[in-house]
Amino acid sequence: MSADLGKKVLEALVRSVDARALGEAVKDLAPAKAAPSSGGGGDETARAVLRKIVLSDILDDAILGSRPGDTSFPLRMFFGALGDELENETAFALANGINFYFRAAMDEEAKLAVGLEVSRLYYRFAEEQPLDAELVRPLSPLLARLMSTELEQVRLESVDAARIFDSALHERAMGSDPSNAKISAPKSFLCRVVSNDRVRVKATVRT
């Protein structure tokens, strides 16, 4: 599998979307900033676009209606945070990548490549915002599990709990210290073959 395939697909997708127009359409949707409704169709269109961007039309009610303490609550918080930060380049690319991953029909090889690139954007988004560590810790495996529902022969896994570099599971990200065995941050998901549990694609980590 080409490691560049998912990145190239997402870059093409993001280039095809007018980020400025989309930002203008959704920037005033937050309750604190929203102007009184005039009944125009523009507001409804913007809200429909925003619902799709954060997957509100396809996410399970167990996620959308989850409350603090529920297993799915970190996913609800994540998609809410993503919707709030769409003017951020990484958030915008991640939202488009997630939508492409869940909505576009493609063979499993291509979907896996896109999924791995989405996981890289996810960790970049979590670092840039930054998302609270208490949210990311349970969120990463939940997101990997959710994305794995789109795959049949392989599954995605988070490696957030790993502390020591293991060459059978991990590869070092650019800029890592090759002499340091301690993992300082995950950079992508791991991929395993469902039938035999073998590692298909190693997770990228920073040491």
pLDDT tens-digit series, residues 127-169: 998 788 888 889 999 999 999 999 999 999 999 999 999 999 9
Average pLDDT value for the chain: 84
pLDDT digits (tens, 9 = 90+) for 177-192: 999 999 999 999 999 9
Cα(19)–Cα(194) distance, integer angstroms? 37
Task: Supply 18's token pair.
Answer: 């007018």
Measured between alpha carbons, how far is 203 from 186 in angstroms, rounded to an integer? 8
Q: Which of 178, 180, 144, 151 is nearest to 163 (CA)?
A: 180
Q: How confident is the model at residue 5 (pLDDT cuts 50, 70, 90)?
A: low
Q: Strands, DSSP E only, in the chain?
A: 154-157, 170-172, 185-186, 190-193, 199-201, 203-206
Cβ atoms of residues 92 and 27 within 8 Å:
no
pTM: 0.78
pLDDT for position 52: 75
> Per the structure block, which two tokens stand in for 202?
């190693």
And the tokens for 169? 């599971």
Q: What is the pLDDT of residues 28-45, one digit of tens each?
A: 444 444 445 555 566 777
- pLDDT, average across residues 110-127: 96
Partnered with residue 55 across adjacent β-strands are none
Report which of 121, 100, 142 is spatially closest to residue 186, judged by C-alpha positions: 121
pLDDT digits (tens, 9 = 90+) for 47-104: 776 777 778 777 888 888 899 999 999 999 998 888 888 889 999 999 999 999 999 9
Q: In whole angstroms, how far apart are CA 141 and each of 72, 118, 188? A: 11, 14, 12
As a whole number of angstroms, the distance between CA 192 and CA 156 comes to: 7
Return the number of other C-beta atoms located less than 10 Å from residue 146's C-beta.
Answer: 18
